C-alpha cells in the first residue's frame, strides 16, 4: 500500500522489478507494461494516478505536430521524443491518454479521433491502403514419379543425392495431374 510516497513510473527498471514490489512482479498496473510512455505521463500519489504535466505536454505536442501536417518521426522529434515513426504512431493510438477509471485524460476525444483519420488519409495519398492481398494457393504435390536409375555411385551421400534428383512431382502447372 502506498501512502504519502510519490512514485514516478518509467521504463528505467528491469522487467522483473516494479515500483510496487521489492523483487518480483506484482498484480499492480506496472506489472503489465503497456508502452514506455504511459507510465512517464502519470505518477501515483495517494494511490491515484496524477498527470505529470511536463511529460503530458510532450504527448500533446506530438499530437499537435502530427495533426498540423508533420511526418510521424518529425512530429516526435519536434515534440522532444527520440523515437521511430512506428513508436510515435503507437503513442498516439494509446487509448489511455483519453482517460479511464484510473488514468486522468491527457488528450481530448476530438484530437485522439483525428489521428487515425489522418493516418488513413496520408496512407491513401501514398497508395498504401491496399495492403491486404490475396495469397496464391500453391498446389502441394502429393504424387511423385521417379526416373530410371542409370548409375551407382561409390559415395553413399552422392548416391542419395543422385536418387533424390530423379524424383519429380506429378503435378502439372495448372494444379491438376
Backbone angles phi, psi at 156, to 5 degrees: -60, -35
| Start-end of CATH 3.90.1750.20 domains in the chain | 6-125
Instruction: Give 6-125's CATH code, choosing from 3.90.550.40, 3.40.50.450, 3.10.20.30, 3.90.1750.20.
Output: 3.90.1750.20
Q: What is the mean pLDDT of the chain?
A: 77
Between residues 157 and 137, which one has the greater pLDDT? 157
Average of per-residue pLDDT across 13-28:
36
Confidence of residue 3 (pLDDT cuts 50, 70, 90): very low
Average of per-residue pLDDT across 57-76:
95
Average of per-residue pLDDT across 37-45:
75
Instruction: Answer yes or no: is pLDDT of 24 > 50.
Output: no
CA distance 62 to 46: 29
Instruction: Answer yes or no: is pLDDT of 77 > 50.
Output: yes
Instruction: Answer yes or no: is pLDDT of 136 > 50.
Output: yes
Neighbours of 82 (CB within 10 A): 8
Average of per-residue pLDDT across 112-116:
96
Instruction: Answer yes or no: is pLDDT of 9 > 50.
Output: no
Cell for 105? 485524460
Instruction: Answer yes or no: is pLDDT of 160 > 90.
Output: yes
Q: What is the pLDDT of residue 26?
A: 33
**Residue 51: its H or E element:** strand 48-51
CA distance 166 to 147: 5
Amino acid at each position: 500500500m502506498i501512502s504519502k510516497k510519490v512514485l514516478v513510473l518509467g521504463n528505467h527498471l528491469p522487467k522483473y522489478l516494479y515500483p510496487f514490489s521489492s523483487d518480483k512482479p506484482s498484480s499492480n498496473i506496472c506489472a503489465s507494461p503497456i508502452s514506455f510512455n504511459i507510465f512517464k505521463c502519470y505518477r501515483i500519489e495517494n494511490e491515484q494516478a496524477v498527470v505529470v504535466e511536463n511529460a503530458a505536454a510532450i504527448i500533446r505536442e506530438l499530437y499537435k505536430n502530427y495533426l498540423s501536417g508533420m511526418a510521424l518521426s518529425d512530429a516526435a522529434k519536434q515534440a522532444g521524443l527520440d523515437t521511430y515513426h512506428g513508436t510515435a504512431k503507437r503513442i498516439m493510438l494509446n487509448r489511455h491518454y483519453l482517460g479511464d477509471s484510473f488514468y486522468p485524460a491527457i488528450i481530448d476525444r476530438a484530437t485522439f479521433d483525428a489521428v487515425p483519420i489522418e493516418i488513413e488519409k496520408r496512407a491513401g495519398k501514398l497508395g498504401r491502403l491496399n495492403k491486404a492481398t490475396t495469397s496464391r494457393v500453391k498446389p502441394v504435390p502429393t504424387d511423385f514419379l521417379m526416373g530410371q536409375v542409370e548409375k551407382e555411385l561409390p559415395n553413399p551421400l552422392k548416391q542419395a543425392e543422385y536418387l533424390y534428383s530423379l524424383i519429380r512431382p506429378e503435378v502439372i502447372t495448372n494444379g491438376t495431374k
